[in-house]
Amino acid sequence: MSALETFDIAAWTGPFADAERDAAIRALEGGQVLYLPHLPFVLSEKEKRLLTPDLFSGRAKNISLDPSGKLKHAAGADGDRALLQGMMQRFASGAVSLIEGLFPGYAPKLERARTSYRPVEIAGRKYSPVHDDTRLHVDAFPTRPMRGRRILRLFSNIHPGATPRVWNVGEPFAQMAEKILPRVKEPPPIAAWLRAATFQTRGVRSRYDDMMMGLHDQAKLNVDYQQATPKTEIAFPPGTTWLCYTDQVMHAALSGQYVLEQTFHLDVEAMAEPARAPLKVLERMTGRALV
């Protein structure tokens, strides 16, 4: 299986052909990255002044827009912030339209989560090993329990020059889990309740959340694994779009600047093949219910 499946899609809104939709859902749920080289997110003349790292407050990894419309971690004058909000909102609408058109079975259950804008060059940014996204990982979050729900992310490179977004993509989820899971220690059951009771997490973390967080951390911390694991380097040029299940695809972002990203959450039951979800894979491997 190749890491990437290319689609000749050139519009954010369907209808898309049956054969295209079938191929897209097979690739997505099978753990590939869907690459749309002919689908740019085009900025207006006015929006081009948003292509500067100065808009970033520096207080988080990225600028983000909540589904409620609230902009976070953006600096700059009110006019620029309003322009930025409008651009991110328009990108979010395009992303929703594309995902609903390409995966109509998802539409009723699809939850639009955060939109992010990443205006800072990522090569050379210094993070601790578990926060270092240049190391291969699956996405998992300490404060956002997913309880098995999927994390689907769509990205567009809006760099005004020729700089690609460069990723590494690693081995399939099950193969990674077989190697990394033995290193994941389980926290005592009371810990999840305590964290929820003291508002450190939004809702109670499940065993699944702890296991995914463990896989995320242990894969990043394991230097031998990072070096030895097979990986494919992919360069996404400006003017292209790509998407994948980032809770399933082992990925690392190596370099690049000016990327827009939209996150979606989806119930496992809304998938065409729920058995492919990390939750189901981990439940088969461990022989027990994880949520």
Instruction: Report which of 68, 78, 82 is spatially closest to residue 115, judged by C-alpha positions.
Output: 68
Least Cβ distance, residue 77 to Fe ion (angstroms): 31
Query: Which residues have C-beta within 8 Å of that of residue 161, sequence separation ≥ 6?
Result: 238
Between residues 43 and 252, which has the closer beta carbon with respect to Fe ion? 252
Q: Is residue 20 a contact point for Fe ion (CB under 5 A)?
A: no
Shortest-Cβ-distance residue relative to Fe ion: 139
User: In b/e form, how buried is each residue of 196-235, taking b as 16+ CB within 10 angstroms?
Assistant: eeeeebeeebbbbbbbbbbbbbbbbbbeebbeebebeebe
Least Cβ distance, residue 251 to Fe ion (angstroms): 6
Q: Which of residues 127-186 bind Fe ion (CB under 5 A)?
A: 139
Least Cβ distance, residue 232 to Fe ion (angstroms): 16
Instruction: Report which of 111, 140, 80, 92 is spatially closest to residue 261, judged by C-alpha positions.
Output: 92
Between residues 20 and 139, which has the closer beta carbon with respect to Fe ion? 139
Least Cβ distance, residue 8 to Fe ion (angstroms): 27
Window 83-122: contact mask with Fe ion (x via CB under 5 A): ----------------------------------------
Between residues 100 and 139, which has the closer beta carbon with respect to Fe ion? 139
Tell me 209's DSSP state.
Answer: H
Between residues 121 and 132, which has the closer beta carbon with respect to Fe ion? 132
Q: Which of residues 238-257 bind Fe ion (CB under 5 A)?
A: none
Between residues 101 and 171, which has the closer beta carbon with respect to Fe ion? 171
Instruction: Report which of 70, 59, 8, 2 is spatially closest to residue 30, judged by C-alpha positions.
Output: 2
Q: Which of residues 35-64 bind Fe ion (CB under 5 A)?
A: none
Contact 180, 285 (CB under 8 A): no
Least Cβ distance, residue 128 to Fe ion (angstroms): 15
Between residues 12 and 173, which has the closer beta carbon with respect to Fe ion? 173
The helices-and-strands tally (H runs, E runs) of the chain is 7, 11
Contact 169, 243 (CB under 8 A): no
- Count the neighbouring beta carbons within 10 Å of the beta carbon of residue 65: 23
Least Cβ distance, residue 165 to Fe ion (angstroms): 13
What is the C-alpha separation between 222 and 16, in angstroms, rounded?
42
Least Cβ distance, residue 287 to Fe ion (angstroms): 28
Between residues 132 and 139, which has the closer beta carbon with respect to Fe ion? 139
| Total of residues contacting Fe ion (CB under 5 A) | 1
What is the C-alpha separation between 273 and 78, in angstroms, rounded?
46
Give residues in contact with Fe ion (CB under 5 A). 139
